[in-house]
A and B are shown apart, each in its own frame.
Chain A
Amino acid sequence: MNNFSSQHRPSRRLSSIRCRNRRGQSLLSLMMLIFLVIVPLFAIITFECARLYLAKQELQNASDAAVLAGTATLASSDNVDPVQAHRDAVVAAIKIFKANTVLGQTLTNTTEVTSLASLPCALDEAKIFFEFINPVTGKVEPLSSPNGKVVRASTSTTRGLAFGDYVGIKTLNVNAVSTGAVPKLDLVICFDVSGSMDDQTPVTFVKRKWDATLGGGKNVYSPVVGANGLMQGKIFDILKPAPTGSSLNACYPQILTEAFWEAQCYSSEYLAQYYGVPGLRSGGIYPEAGKAPGNFPPGTAPTFDGMKVFTDVVVNIDGNPSFGGASYGGFSFPDVATLTEAARGNLESDSVYRSSKANTAVTVSPRPGYQKAYFEAAAKQVKPMKDAQTALATMTQILNTDADVHFGFVAFDSTIGTDATSTETWYDLDDYAPYGAKKGFPIPHVGIDPAAGRSAYTEVNNAIDLCVPMGATNIGGAVHSAVEDLKSRSRLGSTKAIVLFTDGEPTVPSGPLSSDPKANARMAAVEARDAGVALYTVGLAQNPAIIPDQTEILNDQQSDPTTGGMAAIAGHGGTFNLVTDSSQLRQTFSKIARRLVKLVSNQ
C-alpha cells in the first residue's frame, strides 16, 4: 500500500511541478523584472522627485530672503532717485540670494537677467529676474518709475540628478517666484513744534539804544551779559534752561520775557510795562519800522543801565556762536547792527533807514527785501527744527517713492490744529509783556485721505515747512488726534502707524485724556494699541539731562499702561529711537521706514 502510494504520489506531484515550472519560469522572470528594474527605477524617480522638491523649497526660501532684502532696502533707501533706489534694492537682494544654498551648493554663481525668457540656466548656475510692480495698477513699472513699489523676483537654478547617468536625464531646472512689498500704509506724523525746537540756534542778545555822546549821537548795539555770561551762541547754552528746554525763540513768536526765568535778563519792554514807562525798543510803539530807539531824544525812555536788559534777539545767520558777517540772497549783513535793523524792517527804504537812526550805525544801503532776506536766512539756522523738518521731508519723500503710503500730519505744541490752515495766536515779540503784533502762527493738521491715489504727500510736506517753534509739548493730545484720524479715515486693510517726533517730554497744559501730561500721553498710547496702531517714537535729546525722562515716557521696553513707554504700550512692533544729534534724524527715519516692510504672499 505504501509502495503504491509512494509510486503514484511522486509522479502526480512531478507532473504538477512540471506544470508549475513552466508558470514559475515566467513568474520568476516577472519578479526579476519588478525587483531588478521597475522597483529600483520607481525608487530612483521617487528619490529624485523628493530631492528636486527639496531643491525647489530651498530656492523658494532663498528667493523669499532676497525679495525681503530688496523690499527692505527699497523702503529704507536714503535716495529719492527711483532708478538708483531700485538698483540698490536689486544689488542688496542678489547679495542675500547668493549667500544661500540649494542642495548643499551655494548660489554664488548667480547672474541677473533682463527677461523671464533668459531664466533657464546651465548646471550649477542660477539666474534671477527682478520686476517692480505698481501696487495700484498691478502693472510692471520701469526702474525710473517711483510707482514700482512691489518687488518680484523670479529665480531659477539647475541641479544634477543623483542617478542621472542611469536614467538618461542628467539635469533638471527648478524655479521660484517671490513677491515683497511694503504693506499699504497709513502713516500719521506727530511733529513737536514746541518752543525748545530752536534751542540749538545761534543767536545774539542785543541792547539797542541811542547814545548822544558819540559824535552827533548814534545808535549803539551793545552785547548783553546775563547770569550765565555773554549772551551770544546757542540759545540752550546762553539760557541754560531745564532739560525740557527754553520757550524763548530765535524767530517769531519770540517770547522774549522767557530770558528772565532762565538767565535773569530782562526784556526792555517787559520792564517798561512793569514800571509803566516808555519802552526802550521804540518807545513802546508798534509797528516799530522807522522808529528810533526809545531813548531818542535822550530822556524819553529809561535805558536801564546797570541792569541785565536786552531789546532784541537776532539770529547769527552765519551759523557761528559769534556773528562774523554773512550775505544772503544778494543782501549783505556785515554785523549785528545790520541784523538788528533788518529784523525790525529799518532797511526797507531810505526813509525808515533814516528815521530809525539806523543810518548812524549801519553801513549797508537800504532796499526793499532786507527784512525778508534776514528771516529766510534766520529760518535756515533754526535748529533742531530745521534739521527735523529736512529729515521728515526726506522720510516722506522716500516712503512716497518706495511704498504705497497715505500720509497724515499733526503739528503740536500745547494745542493741536484742526486742519491744514490752523493757526495759533501769539504776539510776535513777547506774549508775556505783551509786545509786538498779534499774529496767527501755523499749527497744521493734515488728515489721512482714504481715497485711492490721495496720498496727501504734497499737503504734508507743505505743512512740515510751515511749522515754527512755539509753546509747550502736549504729546498725548497729538497722539490721540492721530489715532482718531487713523480710526476714522484709514484705508481698508492698511497697516496703520504713527511716527511721533519730539525733543522733549509731555508738559502742561495737557489733555484731552488726562490733566497729568504723562498719564495723558500713556492713555493715548493705549488708544493706539487698541486701534492696532504701531507707534514709533523718536526722541531728540538736545542735552543728556533729558534722556532719562524721555526714555521713561517714550521707550519700547516697558508696556505697563501706567508707568511704561509709549512705544511699548502701543505695541504692534513700534520702537523708540533715541537721537542725540539732529544729524542722525535722517538715518533714524530711514530705519523706521525699513521696519514697516514685510513679505506679502507669493503670486
Chain B
Amino acid sequence: MLTTVKKFARWRRAKGSLAVEFVCGCLLASVFVALGLHMSIAIFGAYSNDRACRDACRNAAQGQDLTEATKLAKVVLKSYQASSFLSAPKISAPIVYQDFGGRVMPQDSPYVQVSTSTDVTMPLGTLSFFNAGTLQDSKLSFVKTYTFPIVRVK
C-alpha cells in the first residue's frame, strides 16, 4: 500500500513538472511574441513617419511661400491614414520656409524644413524602441525632420 502511494506521488510530481514546464515555456514564448509584436509595430511606425515626413517636405518645397508650403505639406499628410496602432502623422513643429527673400547667395540654397510626428500605441504596454521615441501611456512618439531645397523660387 505504501509502495503504491509513493509510486502515485512520484507520478503526480512528474505530471506537475510537465505542467510547470509547459507554463514556463508559454510565458517565455509570450514575452517573445510581445517583444516581436512591439518591435514590428515600432519599426512600422518609424518607417511610416519617415515616409510621411519626406513626402510632406518634398511637397512643401514646391510651394511659393510659407502659406502654400504648409498647405502642400498638410495635403500630403492627409493621405496617411491612422490605423489601430498608428496615429495619422502630424506636423510637429512650425515649418521653416527660408527663401532668403529672393536674394540667394551663390553658395546657399533656399530650403524648407518640415517636422512630423507619428504616435504608435503599444498593444501590450511599456516597451521602448529606437532612441527617437519616448513612451507615455503605452505610446511611442516618432519625430522626424527633413530639409529639402526649394527649387521653384518665385
> Which A residues fall within an 8 A CB radius of B?
3, 6-7, 10-11, 13-14, 17, 20-21, 24, 28, 31, 35-36, 39-40, 43, 46-47, 50-51, 54, 57-58, 61, 65, 68-69, 72-73, 76-79, 84, 87-88, 91-93, 95-96, 99-101, 103-104, 162, 573, 575, 587, 591, 594-595, 597-598
CA A91 to CA B28, docked complex, whole Å: 54
A43, A65, A91: residue with the most chain B Cβ atoms closer than 10 Å: A65
Shortest CB distance A525–B (Å): 20
Interface size class of chain B, counting residues whose CB lies under 8 Å from the partner chain: 35 or more
Q: Which residue of A lies closest to B46 (CB)?
A: A54
Contact with A along B1-23 (1 / 0, CB 8 A): 00010011011001100100100
CA A87 to CA B43, docked complex, whole Å: 39
Q: Which residue of A lies closest to B7 (CB)?
A: A10
Beta-carbon contact of A35 and B32 below 8 Å = yes
Beta-carbon contact of A57 and B152 below 8 Å = no
Q: Which residues of B contact A10 (CB under 8 A)?
A: 4, 7-8, 10-11
Q: Which residues of A contact B85 (CB under 8 A)?
A: none
Q: Which residues of A contact B103 (CB under 8 A)?
A: 587
Beta-carbon contact of B111 and A96 below 8 Å = yes
CA A65 to CA B43, docked complex, whole Å: 24
Shortest CB distance A527–B (Å): 24
Shortest CB distance A120–B (Å): 24
CA A31 to CA B23, docked complex, whole Å: 13
CA A93 to CA B111, docked complex, whole Å: 11
Q: Which residues of A contact B149 (CB under 8 A)?
A: 65, 68-69, 72, 92, 96
Beta-carbon contact of B111 and A14 below 8 Å = no
Can you offer 23 A-B residue contacts whose CB atoms are under 8 A?
A10-B8, A13-B11, A14-B7, A17-B11, A28-B21, A43-B32, A57-B50, A58-B50, A65-B146, A68-B148, A77-B106, A78-B106, A87-B107, A92-B109, A92-B149, A95-B108, A100-B146, A101-B144, A162-B130, A587-B103, A591-B102, A595-B152, A598-B151
Q: Which residues of B contact A28 (CB under 8 A)?
A: 21
Is there a chain A Cβ closer than 8 Å to B113's Cβ?
Answer: yes
Beta-carbon contact of A43 and B36 below 8 Å = yes
Shortest CB distance B2–A (Å): 12
Is there a chain A Cβ closer than 8 Å to B145's Cβ?
Answer: yes
Closest 7 CB pairs of A and B: A69-B149, A99-B147, A69-B109, A91-B107, A92-B109, A17-B14, A10-B7
Q: Which residues of B contact A6 (CB under 8 A)?
A: 4, 8
Q: Which residues of B contact A79 (CB under 8 A)?
A: 106
Q: Which residues of A contact B21 (CB under 8 A)?
A: 24, 28
Is there a chain A Cβ closer than 8 Å to B88's Cβ?
Answer: no
Contact with A along B110-154 (1 / 0, CB 8 A): 010100000000000000011110000000000011111101111
CA A65 to CA B149, docked complex, whole Å: 6
Beta-carbon contact of B151 and A594 below 8 Å = yes
CA A104 to CA B132, docked complex, whole Å: 6
Q: Which residue of A lies closest to B3 (CB)?
A: A7
CA A93 to CA B146, docked complex, whole Å: 14
Known: A47-B39, A91-B107. A99 touches B113 (CB 8 A): yes
Beta-carbon contact of B108 and A92 below 8 Å = yes
Known: A69-B149, A96-B109. A14 touches B14 (CB 8 A): yes
Beta-carbon contact of B147 and A65 below 8 Å = yes
Q: Which residues of B contact A14 (CB under 8 A)?
A: 7, 10-11, 14
CA A162 to CA B133, docked complex, whole Å: 14
Shortest CB distance A28–B (Å): 6
Q: Which residues of A contact B90 (CB under 8 A)?
A: none
Is there a chain A Cβ closer than 8 Å to B35's Cβ?
Answer: yes
Q: Which residues of A contact B8 (CB under 8 A)?
A: 6, 10
Beta-carbon contact of B153 and A591 below 8 Å = yes
Q: Which residues of A contact B47 (CB under 8 A)?
A: 54, 57
Is there a chain A Cβ closer than 8 Å to B29's Cβ?
Answer: yes
CA A76 to CA B109, docked complex, whole Å: 10
CA A597 to CA B152, docked complex, whole Å: 8
CA A92 to CA B100, docked complex, whole Å: 14
Beta-carbon contact of B36 and A96 below 8 Å = no
Q: A10-B4, A72-B149, A100-B146 are in contact. List 16 more A-B contacts (CB 8 A).
A: A10-B11, A13-B11, A14-B7, A21-B14, A24-B18, A36-B28, A50-B43, A58-B50, A61-B146, A65-B147, A68-B151, A76-B104, A93-B109, A95-B109, A101-B144, A595-B151
Shortest CB distance A222–B (Å): 47
Shortest CB distance B27–A (Å): 10
Known: A35-B32, A61-B146. A595 touches B132 (CB 8 A): no
CA A51 to CA B129, docked complex, whole Å: 10
Q: Which residues of B contact A24 (CB under 8 A)?
A: 18, 21
Known: A58-B50, A72-B149. A575 touches B154 (CB 8 A): yes
CA A28 to CA B18, docked complex, whole Å: 10
Contact of B152 among A95, A96, A573 (CB under 8 A): A573
Contact of B147 among A3, A36, A96 (CB under 8 A): A96
Q: Which residue of B lies closest to A598 (CB)?
A: B151
Shortest CB distance B48–A (Å): 11
Q: Which residue of B lies closest to A575 (CB)?
A: B154
Q: Which residue of B lies closest to A35 (CB)?
A: B28
B21, B36, B47, B153: residue with the most chain A Cβ atoms closer than 10 Å: B153
Beta-carbon contact of B7 and A43 below 8 Å = no
Q: Which residue of A lies closest to B6 (CB)?
A: A10
Known: A77-B106, A92-B108, A95-B108. A100 touches B147 (CB 8 A): yes
CA A112 to CA B125, docked complex, whole Å: 45
Known: A35-B28, A43-B35, A96-B111. A597 touches B106 (CB 8 A): no
Contact of A39 among B10, B11, B32, B147 (CB under 8 A): B32
CA A101 to CA B54, docked complex, whole Å: 12
Q: Which residue of B lies closest to A36 (CB)?
A: B28
Shortest CB distance B68–A (Å): 12
Shortest CB distance A557–B (Å): 11
Q: Which residues of B contact A72 (CB under 8 A)?
A: 109, 149, 151
Q: Which residues of B contact A99 (CB under 8 A)?
A: 111, 113, 147
B46, B54, B107, B146: residue with the most chain A Cβ atoms closer than 10 Å: B107
Beta-carbon contact of B109 and A11 below 8 Å = no
Q: Which residues of A contact B131 (CB under 8 A)?
A: 103-104, 162
CA A267 to CA B67, docked complex, whole Å: 56
Known: A14-B14, A24-B21, A35-B29. A73 touches B109 (CB 8 A): yes
Shortest CB distance A160–B (Å): 10
CA A10 to CA B14, docked complex, whole Å: 11
Q: Which residues of A contact B151 (CB under 8 A)?
A: 68, 72, 594-595, 597-598
CA A68 to CA B109, docked complex, whole Å: 10
CA A58 to CA B57, docked complex, whole Å: 13
